[in-house]
Amino acid sequence: MGAAVTEKGAILLGGNFAVDGPAERLVRVVTHAHSDHTRGLGFSVRRSVFVAATPATHRFLEILGQGIPPGKRLELPYDRPVELDRETLVLKPARHIAGSAQVLVETPEGHYGYTGDFKLPGTPPMKGLDVLVVDATYGSPQLERRWGEWDAISALIEIIERERARGPIWIYGYNGKLQEIIVELRRRGVEDDIFTDAQTLALARVASEFYGEPLRNVRLLTQDASWGIILVHYSKYNGYKRRPGVHVVLTGWELSAPARKVDNNVYRVSFSDHATFSEIIEYVEEARPSKVIVDSTRSKTAHLTAKYIERRLGIPAEPMP
Q: Which residues in this chain contact Zn ion in the complex, by CB under 5 A?
A: 34, 117
Comparing CB distances to Zn ion, the nearer of 117 and 180 is 117
Burial class, 283, CB count within 10 angstroms (exposed 0-12 / middle 13-18 / buried 19+): buried
Residue 135 is given by DSSP the state -
Exposure letters 258-280 (e unless 16+ CB within 10 A, then b): bbeeeeebebbbbbbbbbbbebb
The closest residue (CB) to Zn ion is 34
Taking the complex as a whole, the smallest distance from the CB of residue 66 to Zn ion amounts, in Å, to 15
Comparing CB distances to Zn ion, the nearer of 107 and 115 is 115
CB 192 within 8 A of CB 160: yes
Taking the complex as a whole, the smallest distance from the CB of residue 184 to Zn ion amounts, in Å, to 17
Element of type H or E holding 128: none
Taking the complex as a whole, the smallest distance from the CB of residue 273 to Zn ion amounts, in Å, to 6
Comparing CB distances to Zn ion, the nearer of 159 and 250 is 250
Q: With DSSP H G I counted as helix, E B as strand and the rest as coil, what are the percentages for the chain, rounded to 5?
A: 30, 25, 45
Q: What are phi and psi of 286, to 5 degrees?
A: -75, -35
Comparing CB distances to Zn ion, the nearer of 34 and 119 is 34
Taking the complex as a whole, the smallest distance from the CB of residue 91 to Zn ion amounts, in Å, to 15
Taking the complex as a whole, the smallest distance from the CB of residue 274 to Zn ion amounts, in Å, to 8
Taking the complex as a whole, the smallest distance from the CB of residue 117 to Zn ion amounts, in Å, to 4
Other Cβ atoms within 10 Å of 253 Cβ, number: 10
Element of type H or E holding 211: helix 198-211
Comparing CB distances to Zn ion, the nearer of 117 and 295 is 117
Comparing CB distances to Zn ion, the nearer of 52 and 98 is 98
Strands 229-233 and 169-173: parallel
d(CA 28, CA 250) in angstroms, rounded, equals: 31
d(CA 80, CA 125) in angstroms, rounded, equals: 17
